[in-house]
Structure 1
Amino acid sequence: MTRTADMIDVTNVSPSFGDMPGACKSGGCGCSGPAIPPPPAFGDVLVTGVEITPEAIAQEIQHHPAPDPQTAWVEAARALAVRELLVQEARRLGLHPASHPDETGRAETDDEALVRLVLEQEVAPEIATEGEQRRYYESNPQRFRTPDLFDAAHILIEPERQDDAAWDAAEAFARSIAAAVGDDQTAFAEATRTHSACAPAQQDGSLGQIRRGELVPAVQQAIEALKNGETAAEPVRSRFGWHVVRLNRHLPGRTLPFDAVRDRIGDMLEARSWSMLATRYVAALAARGTVEGIVVGAVED
């Protein structure tokens, strides 16, 4: 894997700026201005005398989605400061850019090549031993468990109108269907083909093998409360209508054997080691140089 400055987790950022500019303070327009407001500018950022220009930060912001403009600006400015630190160090070490294509086939810029080269030369991740891999596996069994699957089906009864009387009528009909079919799978399938308003009606109402979180919560919870081969006596309401639900079979997840995930664990531990060491390396570069306008990081004791 080619590792770049964007993969470094330098999270100790604590800039101090003034209040954010208010939005839509002038009346009457209903916020009907440009779809994308101009990016904010919070202060000058310099890395050992080299300015990270507002234009560069504005362009970088698009790669750092955030809940507010200040956070986006901070993340973009920090990323560019880290990149500049690495480029300066690569030049100090006498490295020469040799462009490689990235994962999409795009050729690197000279600065991107310098960042890659200095990280490859100066940051060597620790390779986890089999004992370390096994300890991680035994300490985190939930990470290596396949998801529970629920082979389920439903009958959807839609209200004829969006008023209380129509919803009550749909509920009453759904209840009558649940009572009539009981736990009989054949009867359930026939009722589905006759009455269900959902697309899977012609497949006996099958929802397939679903995972937790794939259905609306009320329907998911109702299915998971059932035993294998059981139809719920109470229909469940969603925004679509009333559902008569059935659980054909619950397929519990299982923990994968260590040998099946050993390589994945090794890659993950190596990536974690690289990220930690690269973060410390960049923080050390920042401590030796002069970074103004943004806090890149601090060397841990």
Structure 2
Amino acid sequence: MSIQVNGREISSREINIESAHHQEPGADPRHAWRRAAVALTVRELMLQRARQVDLTVPDDPEGQDAALDALVEREVNMPAAEEDECRRWYEQNLEAFRSPDLVEVRHILLAAAPEDMDGRDVAREQAEALLSRLEQEPRAFPAMAAAHSRCSSSAEGGHLGQVSRGQTVPEFEDVVLRLPVGLAGRPVETRYGFHVVEVLQRIPGEQLPFDAAKTKIKEYLEERTRRRAIHQYIRLLAGEADIKGIDLDASESMLIQ
């Protein structure tokens, strides 16, 4: 199936070639074909507009890209993000500008597969027994980790180093990042089994000041504005064009990208 933009044909062959740049692993090839069709249609709309406003449009792709950049620069209003806007964004998203909390932790893993219910019962009992011993012999943690832990950290006395959000499995972090310094009062359960945990140190995250974050916020807000403005510009061009073979209104999410 071909597409026509103001009488200019985009062939199925062109779309098939372009679709190679839009294919995602495991995704339906038809989705890639659709994205390619939208991309080529939008490109053709903008190239035609560039010629209408007397911009030089070379035959080579790199030259055409430059012409499209010049068209956007000429016809799309891109207001700069003012400092007040940047500050509002910062204040509404403080957590994004905070360094992560860290905990220095060591553990003893009593391993059991998630589906092995009997094995998990045994692992829990073993973890509780080790925890009882450690409450009486806290200095024995490295030796017990070396003897009982099924984690490679056993060679380091169970020491995992400093852990922050996203470095281990969520069910481990959800508990450990809230624990006070010291031996945890009960084993921590994860998909890997049960962990006897000791928090050695807590390092609270720090808030990045606005002045340090301002440049990145400005870049983000201006890029977001740019995408929206170009999207609206493309919709305007499409509304004035004679397009056959594709419905850009039905491709709204792809058009935004």
TM-score (norm 1): 0.71
Of the three residues 233, 258, 283, the one matched with 2:210 is 258
1:188 aligns with 2:146: no
Indicate the residue corresponding to 2:15 in structure 1: 57
Percentage of pairs with the same residue: 34
CA contact (8 A) 1:185 1:229 kept: no
Q: Distance in 2 between matches of 1:250 and 1:293?
A: 61
Q: Distance in 1 between matches of 2:96 and 2:124?
A: 41
The 3 A distance-change label for structure 1 pair 189 and 223 is same
Q: CA deviation at 1:152?
A: 2.0
State the AA in 1 paired with 2:43. R
Q: Distance in 1 between matches of 2:190 and 2:228?
A: 49
Map 1:78-157 → 2, pairs under 5 A: 78-97=38-57, 109-157=62-110
State the AA in 1 paired with 2:199. L
The 3 A distance-change label for structure 1 pair 64 and 211 is farther
State the AA in 2 paired with 1:94. D
CA contact (8 A) 1:183 1:229 kept: no
Q: Distance in 1 between matches of 2:30 and 2:209?
A: 46
Map 1:159-238 → 2, pairs under 5 A: 166-182=119-135, 186-238=139-191
Deviation digits for residues 115-157 of structure 1, max 9, x if unmatched? Answer: 2222233224111221221122222223222222232221123
1:271 aligns with 2:223: yes
Q: Distance in 2 between matches of 1:183 and 1:283?
A: 71
1:77 aligns with 2:29: no
Q: Secondary structure at the match of 1:63?
A: coil
Q: Secondary structure at the match of 2:124?
A: helix
More helix by share: 2
Of the three residues 263, 270, 290, the one matched with 2:242 is 290
Q: CA RMSD in A?
A: 3.0
Does 187-196 or 59-68 show the bigger shift? 59-68
The 3 A distance-change label for structure 1 pair 284 and 165 is closer
Deviation digits for residues 6-63 of structure 1, max 9, x if unmatched? Answer: xxxxxxxxxxxxxxxxxxxxxxxxxxxxxxxxxxxxx432211122222222232333
